[in-house]
């Protein structure tokens, strides 16, 4: 696999595998990330997680040289034997679309030149791939959004997005499991609980899983 | 064994339990949290002979008071909130003996934003996802403190140990007038227009009122990207990352922030400046200086040598005298390198030479 690396900060390096969102590449990154996470202590890294097209590594520059980290991770990636261990588990999630549940359905409808009903129909007819969990605990970044629904983020993020909100931004769709700020366009809301901090892996959704929305 | 140490006797503005932070759960979207000013936080644990991962109280803005429920030692570091023990000023950046029934009061913050109170063996509270840190928005782990809450520890100081006081040789300077914060270039730095780079290098910026433990808006002349776009494919960010949303106002992510973001990452505060920002208040002004990753690491290591190598010394040579005034016994202990530390009836007397 080809990759380049760059510094996000003086203690975070990103190994970037693609400029595009690609399910095959993402699946491989998830697999590498899972393996590196298991070897965190051995590799002297603080943490490791996958994004759409990157592997993010945190290290402590007081204890270890940046070059050592880059060499160790590069070597691990270069010699990685992929087993394709991603699950194909499908989770279905009920969503109330529009109205007070999805304040931006109207703006999405205007931007996309589709009726609100068409937006809902298109959004709830796809089986999405969970690329990564982030932004807030348990927040799934879902790929596979129909091109007709592509919308830019809000110009300035909302201070309060209610828990359970389903949003879209660019080519992505996702769910806010917690109330937070956020810049995605909100089109609906779910009651599903996506995070439980009593579990060893506390997010109900994991990278590599499948998800479908059902309109209720 | 759990010992009750402190009870909150007023409603703090914003105080939480924090440790080093929550690491290893980023893949499930869990933010790191943890203490903001790691230098002050770590020095507190160092003075208490605690482990680096022990939890302390992080007090923002000040105006917090406690009643002591056990004889032990504590240590106050960070911003100067004019701490008092039973009405008498007490020194920060050293261990302080406290006794059951004592009253500790912190006033409003004078020279920073956050103070830390460290206790022996750290604060005893259940770990959630391997950390005692509080996430301020998701209420994940730790605790936001309210009036009446009781702080416990797994240990208290034995009577003999109370004679030993730990001090620092080097104390962080909170009184710089001209604040200069160092940044490294972010992955999307090259998308900034020439004009924007000049603004970053030359202008003054201000921390806005839109500020929390998750992040803060930076006020100043607006910046722009050459391609006019600010969205990226959502990717890794860290505390200290400065994002540029379409409105042109820089937004810095802080300790409770997410680890994935979708706005252009133009700059990143180096770790040392990130800890410094944690002590800035809304309205504080600063300038930016762009440095390399190597320079950032160098700065961090130099800082580590100053504050975390042989910085603590223990005072055991204590001259103890007992005086009788009108039949009442008064115990006076004098110690310190220049006999500058005087304790009357086991309460420190603040004298500045």
In DSSP notation, A61-90 reads TTTS-HHHHHHHHHHHHHT----------E
Best of B32, B134, B234 to mutate (most A CBs within 10 Å, chain A) = B234
Mean model confidence pLDDT for chain A: 93
Q: Which chain B residues are within 8 Å of A54, Cβ to Cβ? A: 235-236
Q: Which of B30, B186, B231 sits opposite A137 (nearest CB)?
A: B30
At CA B10, angle to CA B8 and CA B12, rounded to 5? Answer: 90
Task: Establish if A173 touches chain B: CB-CB under 8 angstroms.
Answer: no
Structure tokens at B31: 């933010």
Q: Band of the pLDDT at B315, cuts 50, 70, 90?
A: confident
* pLDDT reading at B186 higher than 70: yes
Sign of CA dihedral B228, B233, B236, B237: positive
Q: What is the pLDDT of residue A106?
A: 96
Cβ within 8 Å, pair A134-B26: yes
B147 Cβ partners below 8 Å, 6+ apart? B8, B9, B10, B11, B12
* pLDDT reading at A78 higher than 90: yes
Task: Provide CATH code, domain A4-78.
Answer: 3.30.1360.40
Contact A173, A139 (CB under 8 A): no
Q: What is the pLDDT of residue B51?
A: 94
At CA B214, angle to CA B32 and CA B223, rounded to 5? Answer: 120
Q: Which chain B residues are within 8 Å of A207, Cβ to Cβ? A: 27
Residue B180's CB: how many other CB atoms inside 10 A? 11
* pLDDT reading at B157 higher than 80: no
Q: Which chain B residues are within 8 Å of A4, Cβ to Cβ? A: none
Sign of CA dihedral A135, A136, A139, A145: negative
Domains, chain B, in order of start with CATH, read: 3-172 (no CATH), 180-300 (2.40.100.10)
Q: Which chain B residues are within 8 Å of A200, Cβ to Cβ? A: none
Nearest to B260 by CA among A141, A42, A6: A141
Q: Band of the pLDDT at B178, cuts 50, 70, 90?
A: confident
**pLDDT digits over B199-235, tens only?**
999 999 999 998 889 999 999 999 999 987 777 888 9
Nearest to B105 by CA among B9, B5, B4: B9
Q: What value does the CA radius of gyration of chain A take, rounded to a whole number of Å?
A: 18
**pLDDT digits over A11-27, tens only?**
999 999 999 889 999 99
Q: Which residues pair with B333 in a beta bridge?
A: B320, B343
Mean model confidence pLDDT for chain B: 91
Q: Band of the pLDDT at A200, cuts 50, 70, 90?
A: confident
Q: Band of the pLDDT at B338, cuts 50, 70, 90?
A: low
Q: What is the pLDDT of residue A1?
A: 84
Superfamily of domain A90-215: Cyclophilin-like (2.40.100.10)
3-state helix, strand, coil in chain B (%, to 5): 15, 40, 45
Please give the residue of chain A at the shortest CA–CA distance from B29. A134
Q: What is the pLDDT of residue B265?
A: 97
* pLDDT reading at A151 higher than 70: yes
Domain boundaries, chain A: 4-78, 90-215
Count, residues in chain A: 216
**DSSP track, A83-136:** -------EEEEEEEESGGG-TTHHHHHHHHT--HHHHHHHHTT--EEEEEE-SS
What whole-number distance in Å separates Cα of residue B144 and Cα of residue B124?
A: 14
Q: Which of A8, A10, A49 sits opposite B26 (nearest CB)?
A: A49
Cβ within 8 Å, pair B297-A40: no
* pLDDT reading at B16 higher than 70: yes
Cβ within 8 Å, pair A47-B186: no
Cβ within 8 Å, pair A9-B141: no
Contact B304, A62 (CB under 8 A): yes
* pLDDT reading at B41 higher than 70: yes
Q: What value does the CA radius of gyration of chain B take, rounded to a whole number of Å?
A: 22
Cβ within 8 Å, pair B234-A139: no
Q: What is the pLDDT of residue B246?
A: 84
Average pLDDT over residues B319-347: 76
Please give the residue of chain A at the shortest CA–CA distance from B300. A62
Q: Which chain A residues are within 8 Å of B26, Cβ to Cβ? A: 47-49, 56, 58, 134
Average pLDDT over residues A23-36: 93
Q: Which of A9, A62, A156 sits opposite B245 (nearest CB)?
A: A156
Best of A8, A151, A164 to mutate (most B CBs within 10 Å, chain B) = A8
Q: Which helix (H) or strand (E) holds B198?
A: helix B194-202
Residue B295 to residues A7, B15, B272: CA-CA distances in angstroms? 13, 34, 11
Contacts with B, A 70-129, CB within 8 Å: none
What whole-number distance in Å separates Cα of residue A7 and Cα of residue B185?
A: 8
> What is the DSSP code (8-state) at residue B277?
H
Best of A9, A53, A153 to mutate (most B CBs within 10 Å, chain B) = A9
* pLDDT reading at A68 higher than 90: yes
Residue B92 to residues B7, B73, B77, B115, B117: CA-CA distances in angstroms? 20, 13, 6, 10, 10
What whole-number distance in Å separates Cα of residue B5 and Cα of residue B213?
A: 27
Please give the residue of chain B at the shortest CA–CA distance from A194. B28
Q: What is the pLDDT of residue B236?
A: 96
Q: What is the pLDDT of residue B352?
A: 60
* pLDDT reading at A61 higher than 90: yes
Cβ within 8 Å, pair A54-B235: yes
* Start-to-end CA span in chain B (Å): 42
* pLDDT reading at A138 higher than 90: yes
Contact B293, B267 (CB under 8 A): no
Of A39-48, B70-79, B269-278, B341-350, minimum mean pLDDT range: B341-350
Structure tokens at B264: 């252009």
Residue entry with tokens 């770790």: B271
């Amino acid at each position: 696999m080809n990759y380049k690396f760059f510094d996000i900060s003086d203690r975070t390096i990103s190994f970037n595998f693609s400029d595009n969102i690609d399910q095959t590449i993402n699946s491989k990154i998830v697999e590498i990330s899972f393996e590196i996470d298991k070897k965190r202590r051995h590799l002297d890294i603080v943490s490791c997680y996958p994004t759409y097209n990157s592997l993010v590594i945190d290290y402590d520059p007081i204890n270890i040289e940046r070059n050592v980290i880059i060499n160790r991770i590069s070597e691990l990636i270069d010699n990685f034997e992929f087993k394709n261990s991603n699950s194909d588990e499908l989770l279905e999630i009920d969503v109330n679309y529009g109205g007070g549940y999805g304040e931006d359905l109207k703006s999405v409808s205007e931007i996309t030149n589709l009726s609100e009903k068409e937006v809902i129909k298109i959004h709830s007819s796809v089986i999405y791939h969970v690329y990564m969990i982030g932004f807030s605990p348990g927040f799934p970044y879902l790929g596979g959004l129909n091109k007709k629904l592509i919308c830019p983020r809000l110009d300035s993020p909302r201070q309060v997005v209610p828990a359970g909100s389903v949003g879209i931004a660019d080519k992505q769709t996702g769910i806010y499991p917690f109330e937070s700020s956020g810049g995605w366009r909100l089109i609906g809301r779910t009651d599903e609980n996506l995070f439980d901090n009593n579990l060893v892996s506390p997010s109900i959704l994991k990278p590599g899983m499948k998800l479908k929305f059902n309109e209720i | 064994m759990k010992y009750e140490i402190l009870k909150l006797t007023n409603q703090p503005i914003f105080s939480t339990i924090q440790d080093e932070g929550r690491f290893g759960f980023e893949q499930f979207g869990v933010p790191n949290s943890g203490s903001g000013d790691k230098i002050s936080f770590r020095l507190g644990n160092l003075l208490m002979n605690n482990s680096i991962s022990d939890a302390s109280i992080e007090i923002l803005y000040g105006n917090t008071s406690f009643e002591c429920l056990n004889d032990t030692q504590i240590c106050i570091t960070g911003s100067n909130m004019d701490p008092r023990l039973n009405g008498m000023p007490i020194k920060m950046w050293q261990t302080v003996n406290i006794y059951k029934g004592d009253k500790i009061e912190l006033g409003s913050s004078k020279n920073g934003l956050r103070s830390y109170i460290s206790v022996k063996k750290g604060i005893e509270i259940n770990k959630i996802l391997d950390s005692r840190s509080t996430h301020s928005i998701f209420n994940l782990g730790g605790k936001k403190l309210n009036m009446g809450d009781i702080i416990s520890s797994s240990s208290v100081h034995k009577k003999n140990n109370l004679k030993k006081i730990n001090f620092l040789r080097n104390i962080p300077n909170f009184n710089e007038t001209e604040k200069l914060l160092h940044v490294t270039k972010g992955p999307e730095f090259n998308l900034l227009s020439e004009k924007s780079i000049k603004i970053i290098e030359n202008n003054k910026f201000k921390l806005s009122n839109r500020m929390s433990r998750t992040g803060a808006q930076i006020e100043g002349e607006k910046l722009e990207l050459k391609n006019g776009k600010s969205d990226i494919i959502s990717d890794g960010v860290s505390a200290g990352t400065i994002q540029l949303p379409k409105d042109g106002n820089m937004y810095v992510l802080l300790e409770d922030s997410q680890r994935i973001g979708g706005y252009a990452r133009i700059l990143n505060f180096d770790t040392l400046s990130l800890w410094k920002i944690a002590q800035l208040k809304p309205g504080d002004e600063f300038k930016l200086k762009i440095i390399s990753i190597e320079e950032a690491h160098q700065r961090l290591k130099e800082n580590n040598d100053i504050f975390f190598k042989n910085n603590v010394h223990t005072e055991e040579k204590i001259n103890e005298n007992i005086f009788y005034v009108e039949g009442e016994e008064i115990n006076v202990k004098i110690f310190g390198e220049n006999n500058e530390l005087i304790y009357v009836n086991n309460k420190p007397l603040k004298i500045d030479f």
